[in-house]
Structure 1
Amino acid sequence: MAYRLFEGKEQASSYWKYRISPSDHLIQQVLDFLKKQNGGPYELAVDVGCGSGQGTVLLAKHFASVVGTDISPAQVEVAQQHSKEPNVTYRQCVAEELPFADSSVDLMTAMSAFHWFDRPRFLREAHRVLKPRGCLALLNYTIDMELSYSDCCSQTLNQVCKEFYEALKPYYSPHLGGKSIELYREAYNSSPYPDKEWQECVWVKRPMPLFRFIGLVESFSSFQRLLREDPQKAAKLSQDICQRLMSVMQVTSEDTEVVVAVKYFYLLACKPQEA
């Protein structure tokens, strides 16, 4: 079954403010794989589980049309509010029942969403709508992000971060079975497509204010579960972690910029010509 999370208006707003999108380099790796399998031109890309659309818009300049889909009306509404690209549109639908014709999609992506889908049904649906030589790209990143700050001991800084992540472990979704990367690796190993690629460690560094890093972790499903169960405990945890990080950095403002290193992994697969 699919798991329905991140659907409320407050959560959608948080996604827009704090969630990160893949880097240009990562998107280019996806496009290079697509080009290797199918030289184009490319008509349609579909970003499934698009959330508030930060990743969807990165595809705009490479396709005649891009459609982001999400199960949440609130997420789709936020994405539409911030949409500026004329060839990008959004639709509300479930990932396992997509409103696209058979063999009509050049590239289908799911950025930090595949693990919440009914995976077998979604993969069958992806196979249905992809064109022959069309490609599927499933990307995600791990929670164990690392911080760095000038003139500061990274080991001490990241020990505080590790304690943040450890405090959230009891609130991880049992659906993920511990680590979501295993679900992606399983999908790669079981894919019948002969042309496929697996990469499980791509570090991307992003500068951002400290408060945004805290907001990013707060947007994760584990923190959101803690927030629902014990709002005071959740608020105290994030406040304490933020204060401890500022103490290590010897700064007094949450606006202080840090560099956040995010570890991505991805699966790329190409539908055969004769499927």
Structure 2
Amino acid sequence: MAHRLFEGKDHAASYWKYRISPSDQLIQRVLEFVRKQKGEPLLLAVDVGCGSGQGTVLLAKHFESVVGTDVSPAQLEVASQHAREPNVTYRQCVAEELPFADSSADLITAMCAFHWFDRARFLQEADRVLKPRGCLALLNYTLDMELAYPGCCQQSLNQVCKEFYAALHPYRSTILGPKSIELYREAYNSIPYADKEWNEEMWVKKSMPLSSYMGFVESFSSYQALLREDPQKAERLSQDICQRLMSIMKVTSAETEVVLGVKYFYLLASKSG
């Protein structure tokens, strides 16, 4: 069964506000693969572990119907509050028991969520629900993130970021192992489909306020675990990191724009016809 770590209302709100949506470039990679393997029409896409729906809505203009699923009512409540596309709906369920008929979906995605599932059971369920030539897309990013600010030593900035991640590492879930990318690589090797693709070097850059970068890291499961254990320690850590970053940047406001580079990896696979 999927591990339930993101169900609080505050955490769900934080997800919507700070989590980074997959880039247009990344979504296009997925769509190019689906169109190459399956072709038109694209009727149903299912976004599993959709959280607050940032990735789900990106599929809306490409499919007749898009359904986001998640185990958390709080996450789905936030997703529904921000739903604008008439062809996007949300359903509560676990990732390993999807409420869809056999051979019904053109695409099943899991954006930054697959590592929390019972992976073997989910892959079996995805195989059941996918149409022949339907596609599976599993996306995630690494902690090899890079901050940049004009006229500032990027190495110094990112040394502080690495210290932030290192301080959170003891609170990292053991479910994820040393590096979650290994869970995806293992899944790639286990999927029996002939047509599949692996990429672990896709950089995406996004401009945002420094405060949003801090909020992004604070939405991580490791920071949330620290927050539950010792709220004051978590707050001190976050404030210290933010102040050190501002000092290196020589700015006084956390609303100063920085550029965050995020390294994505993805697995694409097409069910045999």
- Relative to the length of structure 1, the TM-score reads 0.98
Give 5+ residue unaligned stretches, structure 1: none
Deviations 1:109-156 (A, max 9, x none): 000000000001100000000000000000001123110000101011
Deviations 1:73-124 (A, max 9, x none): 0000000000000100001111000000000000000000000000011000
SS at match of 2:226: helix
Q: What is the identity, as a one-letter code, of the residue corresponding to 1:84?
A: R
Q: In the alignment, what sits opposite 2:12?
A: 12
Take 2:240 and 2:215, find their aligned partners in 1: how far apart are those partners?
14
Please say if 1:196 is aligned against 2:196: yes
Q: In the alignment, what sits opposite 2:148?
A: 148
Contact 1:68 1:91 in 2 (8 A): yes
Deviations 1:31-53 (A, max 9, x none): 00111101111100000000000
Query: How many residues are paired up?
Result: 273
After superposition, where does 1:1-275 map in structure 2 within 5 Å? 1-273=1-273
SS at match of 1:21: coil
In the TM superposition, what is the alpha-carbon distance from 1:2 to its structure 2 partner? 2.3
Q: What is the identity, as a one-letter code, of the residue corresponding to 1:140?
A: N
SS at match of 2:41: coil
In the TM superposition, what is the alpha-carbon distance from 1:201 to its structure 2 partner? 1.3
Take 1:153 and 1:19, find their aligned partners in 2: how far apart are those partners?
26
Take 2:92 and 2:147, find their aligned partners in 1: how far apart are those partners?
35
Deviations 1:184-216 (A, max 9, x none): 000001110010000011110000000000000
Take 2:74 and 2:38, find their aligned partners in 1: how far apart are those partners?
35
Take 1:178 and 1:101, find their aligned partners in 2: how far apart are those partners?
36
Q: What is the identity, as a one-letter code, of the residue corresponding to 1:226?
A: L
Contact 1:172 1:178 in 2 (8 A): no
SS at match of 2:25: helix
Take 2:144 and 2:241, find their aligned partners in 1: how far apart are those partners?
15
In the TM superposition, what is the alpha-carbon distance from 1:259 to its structure 2 partner? 0.1
Percent identity of paired positions between Structure 1 and Structure 2? 77
Take 1:139 and 1:145, find their aligned partners in 2: how far apart are those partners?
16
Deviations 1:211-260 (A, max 9, x none): 00000000001111111111111000000000000000000001000000
Contact 1:51 1:70 in 2 (8 A): yes
Q: What is the identity, as a one-letter code, of the residue corresponding to 1:118?
A: D
Q: What is the identity, as a one-letter code, of the residue corresponding to 1:215?
A: G
Contact 1:144 1:165 in 2 (8 A): no
In the TM superposition, what is the alpha-carbon distance from 1:270 to its structure 2 partner? 0.3
- Relative to the length of structure 2, the TM-score reads 0.99
Q: What is the identity, as a one-letter code, of the residue corresponding to 2:159?
A: Q
Take 1:177 and 1:151, find their aligned partners in 2: how far apart are those partners?
37
Q: What is the identity, as a one-letter code, of the residue corresponding to 1:224?
A: Q
